[in-house]
């Protein structure tokens, strides 16, 4: 059985190797533990450990996921080295429009952007940035807490 420090190193390695946000369930599986509460406790300790180091990296919790990131002071200087963004440019434009006009009827969004917006809404919904609710023959679209946390709003 591994100790807390071994679990922290494993979680840090998993976040680094994946290059993406990892959910509590996924981290629990990787660590081989059955308690989400224990995973969160390990991640809280890891976040504090990394914050106490003199490093350019940080770990953020976004909803039920954790992501290893470059601190904002360094991100701008190295952003050209990173891969594709988490969100496509057209979806990002639609997300900005939604956040400015929320709550927004899907029909109004389709009228403004055309039928291709359906795919972008699907992408944003799958990534947890927007939530849709049925409203008659259309849907109401709103941003989520993950959106606010991700963009530091």
How far apart (Å, rounded) are the C-alpha atoms in residues 35 and 17?
23
Q: Is the Cβ–Cβ distance between 31 and 42 less than 8 Å?
A: yes
Longest dimension (CA), the chain: 57
Considering the domain delimited by 4-80, tell me its CATH architecture. Orthogonal Bundle (1.10)
What CATH fold (topology level) applies to the domain 89-150? Answer: Arc Repressor Mutant, subunit A (1.10.10)
List per-residue pLDDT tens for the chain, 153 residues long.
579 999 999 999 999 998 888 889 999 999 999 899 999 999 999 999 999 999 999 998 887 889 888 887 887 777 667 655 567 788 889 999 999 998 999 999 999 989 989 999 998 988 888 999 998 888 999 999 888 877 777
Q: Residue ranges per domain, the chain?
A: 4-80, 89-150
Same fold, 4-80 and 89-150: yes
> Which among 81, 79, 100 is positioned nearest to 143, based on CA atoms?
100
CA dist 40 to 10, 64, 112, 128, 147, Å? 14, 9, 42, 20, 21
The structure's pTM equals: 0.57
């Amino acid at each position: 059985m591994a100790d807390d420090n071994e679990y922290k190193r494993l979680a840090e390695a998993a976040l680094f190797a994946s290059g993406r946000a990892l959910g509590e369930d996924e981290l629990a599986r990787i660590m081989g533990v059955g308690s989400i509460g224990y995973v969160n406790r390990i991640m809280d300790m890891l976040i504090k450990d990394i914050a106490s180091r003199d490093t350019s990296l940080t770990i953020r919790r976004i909803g039920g996921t954790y992501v290893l990131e470059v601190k904002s002071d360094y991100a701008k200087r190295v952003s050209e080295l990173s891969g594709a963004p988490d969100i496509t440019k057209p979806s990002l434009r639609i997300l900005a429009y939604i956040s400015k006009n929320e709550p927004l009827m899907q029909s109004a969004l389709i009228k403004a952007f055309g039928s291709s917006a359906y795919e972008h809404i699907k992408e944003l919904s799958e990534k947890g940035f927007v939530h849709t609710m049925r409203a008659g023959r259309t849907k109401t679209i709103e941003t989520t807490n993950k959106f606010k946390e991700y963009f530091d709003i």
